[in-house]
Amino acid sequence: MHVVDLENPLGVIVQFGGQTAINLASDLEKRGVKILGTSLNNINKAEDRKEFEKALNELSIPQPTGKTAFNVEDALEIAKEIEYPVLLRPSYVLGGRAMEIINNDEDLEKYMENAIKEITHDSPILVDKYITGKEVEIDAISDGKSVYIPGIMEHIERAGVHSGDSFSIFPPNSLSDEVKKKIVEYTVKIGQNFNFIGLFNIQFIVDKSQKVYVLEVNPRSSRTVPFLSKVNNVPMVDIATRAIMGEDLNSQGLETGIKDETDNIFVKAPVFSFVKLRSVDPSLGLEMKSTGEVLGSDKTMEKALYKSMIASGIKIPLFGSILMTVADKDKDEIIDIAKKFEEIGYGIYATHGTADYLRENGIYVKEVKKLSEENSSDDSVIDVIIKGKVDYVINTISNNKKSTNDGFLIRRFSNENSIPCFTSLDTCRAILKVIESQTFSINNL
């Protein structure tokens, strides 16, 4: 308010300051400060759960089933109704803070007990059905009538990894024309119905049946605006600011719809600082942990992905060994990944449970001991990391307490010894594509 009193502005734009600035809008308006662009009422229409659900239902736009909870009993009843797994999160969250995927009553009760002190009438806990699928994101510009979409971005990691920690591809390489058409349709409907003026962001989930759901709508700019502006040569902030100040999109030479896709492939890769932040678990989930991002571009997805990974600090040796220790829920999926690593000449280390499963499926494995197992003269899972015997680590999260403690140390030691550690199998598949493409290029020189 000192700044406002000194500058005496026409008004303030909150949509360029992320969720923090959006959360200031109500108090600013109470103090007589004019909010420029999307009005406070329309910001709340997107942020308030009941208003948001009502608006999407009126527009016949699918969304994950869910309700709001103010206590443990409410949350348990909702979870019983919509069935596990469920996604729990506070309303008005920043950076995916305190989001969690819950699979049973016990974990739900623990979550609610920790969250109960933060729950108020204005900030309940949101309980949604968790849908497995591909996550897709758009940034769009609206003047309240016309809605211009510079492009659609597809995440490599499936829903469950925060969008800020995901690899993002533009233009999307696995979405059907029908899915793209539906995304554009929903974006235009939302922009017009919510009367957004300026920038807004939508995150979608596309399930296995190719049904498109709206996961969330953010009445503001997002971290992908600089990325999309650069790769598509669209000055999004300039266009949005002009719209906020009353210059409609048509007068700026823009019409409702999506911009044509580019010939090049662009990949946005997250950058992490786990080596410097020693108490942080390197596992990826619903809370954002990246501290930056980089861009790779080329004519093929594999080359663009390779460039982005190298720029983000990931080493990509084309031969060597890999350590695999995965949760029971991921064992079926790891088989195909292990076979491909084996085919391109990688040696495979694995902990007992994973090793047994791989052997049963015809894959040669060298077994290593977990820290929670009895001491042995053989190398432990940490030894092979510290001694540089492996070039990659795949470690997915388990609910077992001993496995959880082991997993944290595996991920920490991997990062502290500059060995890439992947907790998402989708990222592993992307790495495989890069290695396979590089190996193919070398073999054909």
Distances (CA, A) of 177 to 149, 150, 207: 16, 16, 15
Contacts of 280 (CB under 8 A, 6+ apart): 274, 289
Contacts of 27 (CB under 8 A, 6+ apart): none
The structure tokens listed for 123 are 């900030």
∠ CA 342-344-347, nearest 5°, is: 40
3-state DSSP assignment of residue 36: coil
| Sign of CA pseudo-dihedral 352, 356, 357, 362 | positive
- Quote the pLDDT of residue 440: 57
Contacts of 160 (CB under 8 A, 6+ apart): 101, 130, 132, 285, 286
Q: Would you say 323 and 368 are in contact if contact means Cβ atoms under 8 Å apart? A: yes
| Sign of CA pseudo-dihedral 132, 133, 139, 140 | negative
Question: Which of 186, 162, 78, 73 minimizes the C-alpha distance to 128?
Answer: 78
* Cα 423 from Cα 312, distance rounded (Å): 17
Scanning 151-235, the segments in alpha helix (DSSP H) are: 177-193, 225-232
- Quote the pLDDT of residue 96: 45
Q: How far is CA 254 from the centre of its chain?
A: 30
Give me the count of residues in the chain.
Answer: 445
- Quote the pLDDT of residue 401: 47
- Quote the pLDDT of residue 118: 60
Q: How far is CA 174 from the centre of its chain?
A: 17
N-term to C-term CA, the chain = 64
Mean pLDDT by 10 residues, the chain (445 residues): 95 93 94 96 88 93 88 89 86 58 86 70 78 92 97 88 87 94 97 97 93 93 93 96 97 95 92 76 79 92 92 87 92 94 93 94 92 64 91 80 69 86 88 82 55
The structure tokens listed for 234 are 């669209």
Instruction: Give all domains of the chain, ordered by start, each with its CATH number.
Output: 2-37 (no CATH), 38-63+136-313 (3.30.470.20), 65-129 (3.30.1490.20), 315-443 (3.40.50.1380)
Question: Which of 314, 300, 316, 344 minimizes the C-alpha distance to 443?
Answer: 344
- Quote the pLDDT of residue 97: 53
